[in-house]
């Protein structure tokens, strides 16, 4: 009477069993084949593909039919150059799409033989801005903490929502905050409330693109205290050049503004 292993149920003979080597070996072989054919689970640890001593990048290939089209997805670790991970989708032998994740964190999609970068970092929001007997005003928007990285400063786009006699502008002052402003088109003073819709983009880890800048001198720490906000209780350094500071995650006005004291 043979026993079997706990997890994969691979049979093995006991010392008390009759010696019938060929049948026992066949039982083990058939069980191993059944495990591999049916798709097997590794219950613990990692599956390693490739050998660092071999220059060619290892890959895993998945094939499947969709209608009569054969789709092949190849997951490859690239070596040399940028390094990273490449996911390639092949339809009937022709590459249709490729996703490239580089070591520096940049992501590109290749389709039609052209690489198309996916933004490295992006943030969008809607910020309340109030003019009180003013032709123009601005607000500081705190960006999500840690989202943007030096040496780039994000490129900023801003529009006034539902206010065609006003225009908005946006500019990056640092990697932690931006400034959006609202100005009356004929520069006369007025009182009005607006939401400014804004977007800040950094295309690659090092450039926004094309805008290489040194870190500015931060003057204040501003802290959001909205419960549940991703920025809550994180002091965000800003270059304060506007009367109002708004959290770029929860859109609430930030009241906790303290000068950064030199230590
Ligand atoms: Zn917040």
Q: Give the tens place of pLDDT for each residue, 151-169.
A: 778 889 999 987 788 999 9
Query: How does pLDDT run across 35-50, given as a tens digit for each residue?
Result: 999 888 888 988 887 7
Ion ligand 1 — residues with CB < 5 Å = 224, 226, 229, 231, 247, 249-250
pLDDT given for residue 22 in this prediction:
85
Query: How does pLDDT run across 200-228, given as a tens digit for each residue?
Result: 998 888 766 533 345 567 889 999 999 99
Q: What is the mean pLDDT of the chain?
A: 86
pLDDT given for residue 127 in this prediction:
92
The token pair that represents 237 in the structure block = 């350094």
pLDDT given for residue 50 in this prediction:
74
Instruction: Give the Cα separation of 225 and 159 in Å (integer).
Output: 26
pLDDT at 136 over 90: yes
User: If you measure from the C-alpha of residue 110 to the centroid of ligand 1, how many angstroms do you get, rounded to a whole number?
Assistant: 36
What mean pLDDT comes out for the span 80-94?
Answer: 82
If we measure between CA atoms, which residue out of 259, 255, 253, 260 comes closest to residue 141? 253
Residues 6+ apart with CB under 8 A from 229: 247, 249, 250, 252
Instruction: Give the Cα separation of 236 and 161 in Å (integer).
Output: 26
If we measure between CA atoms, which residue out of 125, 179, 171, 121 comes closest to residue 150? 121
Claim: this prediction has a pTM higher than 0.85 = no
User: If you measure from the C-alpha of residue 228 to the centroid of ligand 1, how many angstroms do you get, rounded to a whole number?
Assistant: 8
User: If you measure from the C-alpha of residue 178 to the centroid of ligand 1, how many angstroms do you get, rounded to a whole number?
Assistant: 15
pLDDT given for residue 259 in this prediction:
92
Confidence class for position 145, pLDDT limits 50, 70, 90: very high
Percentage of the chain surpassing pLDDT 90?
48
User: If you measure from the C-alpha of residue 170 to the centroid of ligand 1, how many angstroms do you get, rounded to a whole number?
Assistant: 20
pLDDT given for residue 71 in this prediction:
93
């Amino acid at each position: 009477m043979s026993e079997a292993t706990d997890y994969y149920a691979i049979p093995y003979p006991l010392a008390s069993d009759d010696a019938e080597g060929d049948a026992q070996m066949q039982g083990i072989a058939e069980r191993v084949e059944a495990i591999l054919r049916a798709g097997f689970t590794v219950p613990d640890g990692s599956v390693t593909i490739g050998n660092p001593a071999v220059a060619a990048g290892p890959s895993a290939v998945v094939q499947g039919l969709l209608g009569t089209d054969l789709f092949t997805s190849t997951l490859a670790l690239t070596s040399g150059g940028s390094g990273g991970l490449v996911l390639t989708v092949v339809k009937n032998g022709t590459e249709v799409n490729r996703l490239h994740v580089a070591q520096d964190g940049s992501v590109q999609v290749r389709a039609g033989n052209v690489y198309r970068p996916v933004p490295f970092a992006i943030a969008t929001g809607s910020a309340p801005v109030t003019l009180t007997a003013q032709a123009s005003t601005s607000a500081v928007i705190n960006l999500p903490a840690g989202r943007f990285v030096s040496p780039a400063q994000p490129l900023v786009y801003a529009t006034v929502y539902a206010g065609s006699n006003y225009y908005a502008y946006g500019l990056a002052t640092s990697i932690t905050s931006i400034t959006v402003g609202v100005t009356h088109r004929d520069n006369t003073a007025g009182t009005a409330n607006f939401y400014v819709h804004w977007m800040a983009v950094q295309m690659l880890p090092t450039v926004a693109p094309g805008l290489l800048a040194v870190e500015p001198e931060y003057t204040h720490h501003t802290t959001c205290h909205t419960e549940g906000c991703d920025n809550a209780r994180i002091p965000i350094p800003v270059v304060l050049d506007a009367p109002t500071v708004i959290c770029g995650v929860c859109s609430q006005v930030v009241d906790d503004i303290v000068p950064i004291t030199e230590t």
